[in-house]
Amino acid sequence: MNIDSIKNGYVIDHISAGHGMKIYEYLQLEKLDCSVAMIMNARSTKMGKKDIIKIDQKVKIDFDVLGYIDPNITINVIENDKKVKKFHPELKEELIDIVKCKNPRCITSVERGLKHICILKDKKKAQYRCKYCDSEV
Amino acid sequence: MRNLIGIEDFSTEEIDELIEVSKNIISNKEKYLEKCKGKILATLFFEPSTRTRLSFESAMLSLGGGVLGFSSADSSSTQKGETLADTIKVVSGYSDIIAMRHPKEGAPIVAANNSNVPIINAGDGGHNHPTQTLLDLLTISQEKGRLNNFTVGLCGDLKFGRTVHSLIIALSRYENIKFVLISPNELKIPDYLKQDVLDKKNIDYIETESLEENIDKLDILYMTRVQKERFLNEEEYVRLKDVYILDKQKLEKAKKDLCIMHPLPRVNEISTEIDNDPRAAYFRQAEYGKYMRMAIILKLLNVK
């Protein structure tokens, strides 16, 4: 299967197989006004199978969100057909409205208009806790 | 402006200062009679409570202030669908300080973010209950004369028991405290407390299901009630509610200077036959609650 290379944009590589759609949703890529290619179950020597997302435009995207979903992801920045930068997403100190607290006893389960805020508690374990009830998310 | 959301909002020095002020109030009550004249405490209790609410109200009245509020969500605008944020914005215009109990965990953070006056967390679900912890520390200080070098047994519902969570956090600041955590497997303390507090600070603790086998080691025994309102499944509550009952027979093995505490209300977990034992401190503990809450109100209102 061939998918054209991109001139300017991003290639999100080394996504664990099956996580591609989740990342598509988190980054709200459907709202972009450019082509987005989703390659699922691509062969990988390192990972066996992986997902890849190609975004055909350099738009502002908060890639740090991806650190929470899959810290092994690689983001390649493409300019004029060349890879100019490659990086792994950082773990954000605070995730706002990215993950929802699942504790039914948490105030976020009933209070309208309240943002779901998760705080990074353990960088090594990529562990976040709800700011309000301290539950692990 | 300061709030009291969790025990971590106060430094160890501030906690020690609150204990000293409480002791001063106990011995010089008349000196404090007009300290909060003209100030209003709002007690917003979205969940039923007798002791905590009355002790807050008694505390403010004993400082010469006034009180207003409600004692269940049914009698508040929550029933009409008002958000907590809106309720707090309105009430903070009617009062100088708010004491709030709410069934949802983290509700006091929402309150503090929407208030112009100090918020005191009077219990948020199974999460935190810092004023109880402060009165527990006052009780230990009064009964034992110190806050270090103890083996403390915590017995009963350690999963949902917010008083226990806050007490572990607070006591772990003092030297040489060992914990014996006694609970059924289903009601063990949450992992985050073990990781963030006990393991992080290298505090000595054991987890056990047996009160009998461990009672002889304890300097303080903190009993808790298995709370029906915390269970989503009634069957599980019925199965666990009477797992531990402290009675005369169990106390025979205990130290002569054991201090028995309980946040109250009790149901069956402490037999009434030991109420007159000098080691039973729980009714004195409830009274200390009023003096500690007076000290907290004074501190948050910055009244000297």
Q: What is the pLDDT of residues B44-102, one digit of tens each?
A: 999 888 889 999 999 999 999 999 999 877 766 777 789 999 999 999 999 999 999 99
Cβ contacts of B195 within 8 Å, gap of 6 or more:
none
CA distance B77 to B87: 7
In terms of CATH, what superfamily is B130-286? Aspartate/ornithine carbamoyltransferase (3.40.50.1370)
Q: What ranges do the domains of chain B cover?
A: 7-129+289-300, 130-286
Structure confidence at residue A110 (pLDDT): 94
Residue tagged active-site, from B39, B129, B290, B299: B129
Q: A9-87: what fold?
A: Alpha-Beta Plaits (3.30.70)
Query: Which residues in chain A touch residue B124, judged by CB atoms under 8 angstroms apart?
Result: 107
Residue tagged active-site, from B52, B131, B139, B151: B52
DSSP per-residue string spanning B203-249: --EEEES-STTTGGG-SEEEE----GGG-S-HHHHHHHTTS--B-HH
Q: Is the ipTM of this complex over 0.95?
A: no
Q: Which pLDDT band, with edges at 50, 70 and 90, does A65 fall under?
A: confident
pLDDT beneath 70, residues of chain B: 75-76, 229-232
For residue B225, give how far its alpha carbon lies from the nearest alpha carbon of chain A (Å). 19
Q: What ranges do the domains of chain A cover?
A: 9-87, 94-130
Sign of CA dihedral A132, A134, A135, A136: positive
Tokens 């979903």, residue located:
A69
Please determine whether the domains at B7-129+289-300 and B130-286 fall in the same fold group of CATH.
yes
Query: Which residues in chain A touch residue B110, judged by CB atoms under 8 angstroms apart?
Result: 107, 111, 114, 132
Residue tagged active-site, from B101, B241, B290, B299: B101
- Is the pLDDT assigned to residue A2 strictly greater than 70? no
Asked if the Cβ–Cβ distance from B105 to A103 is below 8 Å, we say yes
Cβ contacts below 8 Å, chain A against chain B, sum to 55
**Quick check: B83 and B105 in contact, CB under 8 A?**
no
Asked if the Cβ–Cβ distance from B106 to A132 is below 8 Å, we say yes
Residue B51: active-site member: yes
CATH code for residues B7-129+289-300: 3.40.50.1370
Q: Would you call B110 helix, strand, or coil by DSSP?
A: helix
A106 contact B CB<8A: yes
